[in-house]
Amino acid sequence: MANTKQNKKVLIRIENLKQYFPLKKKSLFAEQLYVRANDDVSLDIYEGETLGLVGESGCGKSTLGRTLLQLYKQTDGRTIYYGRDLDEIAPQYVVYTLKKS
């Protein structure tokens, strides 16, 4: 029996998420360089689903989780929780909602 996602609500939608960390400049006039921990990540997690991330050490798995939990401010992209953009929600509300879930 095929599992259809048509009947399920999207719990979290991630669109083009980017998480970059600046590297220390070698001089005042040097170009700013970045470590690209997550670059253009997009996915949907539906109600009742469990997500597992697998990858090599240092590939950005923990950074993605921390960014989704708003522990890091994402560099770019959108994270939508039950249809609400997390950038538009007060951080305290995000923590309250996640604890309630």
Task: For residue range 20-78, list pLDDT tens digits in order.
Answer: 999 999 898 999 999 999 999 999 999 999 989 999 999 999 999 999 888 898 999 99
The domain that holds 91 is classified in CATH as 3.40.50.300
Give residue 1's pLDDT band: very low, low, confident or very high (50, 70, 90). Answer: very low
Instruction: Let me know if residue 1 belongs to a domain.
Output: no
Is a pLDDT exceeding 80 seen at residue 97?
no
The pLDDT score that the predictor gives to residue 57 is 95
Domain count, the chain: 1
The pLDDT score that the predictor gives to residue 19 is 97
Helix (H, G, I), strand (E, B) or coil at 2: coil
More confident residue, 98 or 63: 63
Measured between alpha carbons, how far is residue 25 from residues 22, 34, 37, 64, 76 in Å?
A: 9, 10, 18, 25, 22
The domain in which residue 50 lies consists of 10-100
